[in-house]
Protein backbone atom coordinates (compact mmCIF):
# COMPACT_ATOMS: atom_id res chain seq x y z
CA UNK A 1 0.00 0.00 0.00
CA UNK A 2 0.89 3.66 0.01
CA UNK A 3 3.31 4.63 2.74
CA UNK A 4 6.10 6.95 3.84
CA UNK A 5 9.20 5.33 5.29
CA UNK A 6 11.43 7.40 7.56
CA UNK A 7 14.94 6.67 8.85
CA UNK A 8 16.50 6.65 11.33
CA UNK A 9 13.99 6.25 14.14
CA UNK A 10 16.41 7.80 16.64
CA UNK A 11 19.41 10.03 16.09
CA UNK A 12 21.88 11.42 18.62
CA UNK A 13 24.35 14.10 17.59
CA UNK A 14 26.78 16.36 19.38
CA UNK A 15 25.88 20.03 19.51
CA UNK A 16 27.23 21.76 16.42
CA UNK A 17 27.19 18.63 14.26
CA UNK A 18 24.79 18.04 11.38
CA UNK A 19 21.75 15.77 11.35
CA UNK A 20 20.17 14.13 8.34
CA UNK A 21 16.80 12.39 8.24
CA UNK A 22 15.59 10.53 5.14
CA UNK A 23 12.15 9.62 3.87
CA UNK A 24 10.92 7.60 0.92
CA UNK A 25 7.38 7.62 -0.44
CA UNK A 26 5.43 5.32 -2.68
CA UNK A 27 3.01 7.55 -4.61
CA UNK A 28 4.69 9.00 -7.69
CA UNK A 29 1.91 11.62 -7.91
CA UNK A 30 2.92 13.16 -4.57
CA UNK A 31 3.97 16.76 -5.12
CA UNK A 32 4.29 18.34 -1.68
CA UNK A 33 6.64 17.28 1.11
CA UNK A 34 6.47 19.02 4.48
CA UNK A 35 8.59 18.40 7.56
CA UNK A 36 7.13 18.82 11.03
CA UNK A 37 8.83 19.19 14.40
CA UNK A 38 7.00 17.99 17.48
CA UNK A 39 8.39 18.74 20.91
CA UNK A 40 7.27 16.62 23.84
CA UNK A 41 3.65 17.38 24.70
CA UNK A 42 3.35 19.98 21.95
CA UNK A 43 1.67 20.21 18.57
CA UNK A 44 3.44 19.36 15.29
CA UNK A 45 4.79 22.53 13.67
CA UNK A 46 5.90 22.94 10.09
CA UNK A 47 9.58 23.74 9.84
CA UNK A 48 10.13 23.53 6.08
CA UNK A 49 8.39 22.19 3.01
CA UNK A 50 9.25 21.57 -0.63
CA UNK A 51 7.22 21.15 -3.77
CA UNK A 52 7.99 18.77 -6.59
CA UNK A 53 9.18 21.44 -9.01
CA UNK A 54 12.15 22.23 -6.76
CA UNK A 55 15.13 20.02 -5.89
CA UNK A 56 16.32 21.84 -2.79
CA UNK A 57 15.13 24.47 -0.36
CA UNK A 58 17.02 26.09 2.48
CA UNK A 59 15.97 28.18 5.47
CA UNK A 60 18.89 29.20 7.68
CA UNK A 61 20.18 25.99 9.34
CA UNK A 62 17.50 23.77 7.82
CA UNK A 63 17.40 22.42 4.28
CA UNK A 64 15.33 19.86 2.44
CA UNK A 65 16.34 18.00 -0.72
CA UNK A 66 14.02 16.10 -3.02
CA UNK A 67 14.78 13.39 -5.56
CA UNK A 68 11.52 12.74 -7.42
CA UNK A 69 12.97 10.02 -9.58
CA UNK A 70 14.06 7.98 -6.59
CA UNK A 71 11.03 9.13 -4.56
CA UNK A 72 12.94 10.24 -1.54
CA UNK A 73 13.51 13.48 0.33
CA UNK A 74 15.76 14.44 3.21
CA UNK A 75 15.93 16.96 6.02
CA UNK A 76 19.32 18.46 6.82
CA UNK A 77 19.94 20.39 10.02
CA UNK A 78 23.36 22.03 10.35
CA UNK A 79 25.04 23.43 13.47
CA UNK A 80 22.56 21.59 15.68
CA UNK A 81 21.55 23.13 19.00
CA UNK A 82 19.95 21.54 22.10
CA UNK A 83 16.64 23.19 21.21
CA UNK A 84 16.58 21.16 18.00
CA UNK A 85 15.91 18.08 20.17
CA UNK A 86 12.42 16.85 19.23
CA UNK A 87 10.61 14.30 17.08
CA UNK A 88 10.68 15.12 13.39
CA UNK A 89 8.08 13.82 10.95
CA UNK A 90 8.20 13.89 7.20
CA UNK A 91 4.92 13.76 5.33
CA UNK A 92 3.57 13.33 1.82
CA UNK A 93 0.15 13.21 0.19
CA UNK A 94 -0.54 9.60 -0.74
CA UNK A 95 -3.51 8.52 -2.83
CA UNK A 96 -4.81 12.08 -3.15
CA UNK A 97 -3.54 15.58 -2.36
CA UNK A 98 -5.54 15.83 0.86
CA UNK A 99 -4.40 12.49 2.27
CA UNK A 100 -1.23 13.66 3.92
CA UNK A 101 0.48 10.69 5.49
CA UNK A 102 3.17 11.09 8.09
CA UNK A 103 6.39 9.13 8.31
CA UNK A 104 7.11 7.11 11.43
CA UNK A 105 9.15 9.89 13.03
CA UNK A 106 12.75 10.46 14.08
CA UNK A 107 13.61 11.30 17.67
CA UNK A 108 16.56 13.69 17.47
CA UNK A 109 18.67 14.26 20.55
CA UNK A 110 21.31 17.00 20.46
CA UNK A 111 23.87 16.45 23.19
CA UNK A 112 25.35 19.67 24.61
CA UNK B 1 -3.93 35.15 14.17
CA UNK B 2 -2.25 31.86 13.21
CA UNK B 3 -3.82 29.81 15.92
CA UNK B 4 -5.92 26.70 15.81
CA UNK B 5 -7.67 26.39 19.15
CA UNK B 6 -8.87 23.08 20.51
CA UNK B 7 -11.04 22.46 23.55
CA UNK B 8 -10.90 20.79 25.93
CA UNK B 9 -7.17 20.18 26.42
CA UNK B 10 -7.84 17.04 28.44
CA UNK B 11 -10.88 14.77 28.55
CA UNK B 12 -11.62 11.63 30.54
CA UNK B 13 -14.76 9.79 29.54
CA UNK B 14 -16.44 6.50 30.24
CA UNK B 15 -17.33 4.04 27.52
CA UNK B 16 -21.01 4.98 27.71
CA UNK B 17 -20.49 8.73 27.65
CA UNK B 18 -21.11 11.17 24.81
CA UNK B 19 -18.68 14.04 24.47
CA UNK B 20 -17.51 16.47 21.80
CA UNK B 21 -14.15 17.88 20.86
CA UNK B 22 -14.06 21.37 19.41
CA UNK B 23 -11.68 23.12 17.04
CA UNK B 24 -11.69 26.72 15.88
CA UNK B 25 -9.58 28.76 13.47
CA UNK B 26 -9.92 32.31 12.19
CA UNK B 27 -7.32 32.22 9.43
CA UNK B 28 -9.87 31.85 6.65
CA UNK B 29 -8.69 28.31 5.96
CA UNK B 30 -11.19 26.23 4.01
CA UNK B 31 -9.70 22.80 4.73
CA UNK B 32 -9.83 21.32 8.21
CA UNK B 33 -8.65 17.96 9.50
CA UNK B 34 -8.88 15.58 12.41
CA UNK B 35 -5.86 13.44 13.23
CA UNK B 36 -5.38 10.83 15.95
CA UNK B 37 -1.96 10.39 17.53
CA UNK B 38 -1.02 7.54 19.85
CA UNK B 39 2.06 7.81 22.04
CA UNK B 40 5.34 7.63 20.11
CA UNK B 41 3.48 7.30 16.82
CA UNK B 42 2.84 9.70 13.94
CA UNK B 43 -0.49 11.49 13.52
CA UNK B 44 -3.02 9.39 11.58
CA UNK B 45 -5.55 11.10 9.36
CA UNK B 46 -9.19 10.55 10.34
CA UNK B 47 -11.31 13.11 8.48
CA UNK B 48 -10.90 15.98 6.03
CA UNK B 49 -13.38 18.78 5.44
CA UNK B 50 -13.12 21.02 2.40
CA UNK B 51 -15.39 24.05 2.24
CA UNK B 52 -17.45 22.63 5.12
CA UNK B 53 -18.07 19.36 3.29
CA UNK B 54 -16.66 16.01 4.37
CA UNK B 55 -14.24 15.01 1.64
CA UNK B 56 -12.29 12.21 3.29
CA UNK B 57 -13.21 9.63 5.92
CA UNK B 58 -10.34 7.23 6.48
CA UNK B 59 -12.58 4.31 7.43
CA UNK B 60 -13.04 5.68 10.91
CA UNK B 61 -15.52 3.79 13.17
CA UNK B 62 -18.94 5.38 13.44
CA UNK B 63 -18.43 6.06 17.15
CA UNK B 64 -16.47 9.07 15.88
CA UNK B 65 -18.74 11.57 14.14
CA UNK B 66 -17.31 14.77 12.65
CA UNK B 67 -19.23 17.96 12.05
CA UNK B 68 -18.31 21.25 10.41
CA UNK B 69 -20.97 23.84 11.40
CA UNK B 70 -19.20 26.67 9.54
CA UNK B 71 -15.91 27.57 7.96
CA UNK B 72 -14.26 28.33 11.32
CA UNK B 73 -15.45 25.43 13.43
CA UNK B 74 -14.87 21.70 13.42
CA UNK B 75 -16.30 19.29 15.96
CA UNK B 76 -15.70 15.63 16.68
CA UNK B 77 -18.57 13.91 18.46
CA UNK B 78 -17.64 10.86 20.52
CA UNK B 79 -19.96 8.09 21.62
CA UNK B 80 -19.43 4.60 23.04
CA UNK B 81 -15.66 4.80 22.74
CA UNK B 82 -13.29 2.01 23.66
CA UNK B 83 -10.17 2.25 25.86
CA UNK B 84 -8.00 1.82 22.73
CA UNK B 85 -9.42 5.12 21.46
CA UNK B 86 -7.40 6.91 24.13
CA UNK B 87 -5.00 9.20 22.25
CA UNK B 88 -4.14 12.78 21.40
CA UNK B 89 -6.68 14.17 18.93
CA UNK B 90 -5.26 16.90 16.75
CA UNK B 91 -7.16 19.35 14.61
CA UNK B 92 -5.43 21.10 11.74
CA UNK B 93 -6.33 23.58 9.04
CA UNK B 94 -4.83 24.76 5.79
CA UNK B 95 -5.56 27.34 3.15
CA UNK B 96 -7.28 26.25 -0.03
CA UNK B 97 -7.33 22.71 -1.28
CA UNK B 98 -5.72 20.06 0.81
CA UNK B 99 -2.50 20.20 2.75
CA UNK B 100 -0.16 21.25 -0.04
CA UNK B 101 0.05 24.52 1.76
CA UNK B 102 1.18 24.95 5.32
CA UNK B 103 -1.04 23.15 7.79
CA UNK B 104 -1.47 24.59 11.27
CA UNK B 105 -2.16 22.20 14.12
CA UNK B 106 -4.00 22.83 17.34
CA UNK B 107 -2.50 21.80 20.68
CA UNK B 108 -4.71 18.76 20.72
CA UNK B 109 -7.13 17.14 23.12
CA UNK B 110 -5.67 14.35 25.20
CA UNK B 111 -8.48 11.83 25.51
CA UNK B 112 -8.59 9.01 28.04
CA UNK B 113 -11.38 6.44 27.81
CA UNK B 114 -11.99 4.51 31.00
pLDDT tens-digit series, residues B2-42: 699 999 999 999 999 999 999 999 999 999 999 999 999 99
**Which residues of chain A have a Cβ shorter than 8 Å from any chain B Cβ?**
31-32, 34, 42-46, 49, 51, 89, 91, 93, 96-105
| Chain B: residue whose CA lies nearest to A32 | B100
Question: B85 φ, ψ to 5°?
Answer: -85, -5
* A10-14/A106-111 β-pairing: parallel
Which pLDDT does position A77 carry in this prediction? 98
- Per residue in A39-81, pLDDT (tens digit) is 998 999 999 999 888 899 999 999 999 999 999 999 999 999 9
- Per residue in B47-96, pLDDT (tens digit) is 999 999 998 888 999 999 999 999 999 999 999 999 999 999 999 999 86
Q: What is the DSSP string of A51-79?
A: ETT-SEEEETTEEEEEETTTTEEEEEE-S
CA–CA gap between residue B47 and residue A62 (Å, rounded):
31
Which pLDDT does position A52 carry in this prediction? 84
Using CB atoms, pick whichever of A44, A46, A99 lies closest to residue B43: A44
CB atoms B99 and A44 under 8 Å: no
Chain A and chain B share a number of CB contacts under 8 A equal to: 59
Which pLDDT does position B102 carry in this prediction? 84
Asked whether residue B97 carries a pLDDT value surpassing 80, the answer given is no
CB atoms A97 and B97 under 8 Å: yes
Amino acid sequence: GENVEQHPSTLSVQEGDSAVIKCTYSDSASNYFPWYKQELGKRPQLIIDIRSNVGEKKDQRIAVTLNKTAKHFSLHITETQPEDSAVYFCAAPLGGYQKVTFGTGTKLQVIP
Amino acid sequence: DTEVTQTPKHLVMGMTNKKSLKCEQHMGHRAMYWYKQKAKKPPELMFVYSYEKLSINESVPSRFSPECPNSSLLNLHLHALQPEDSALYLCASSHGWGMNTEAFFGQGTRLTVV
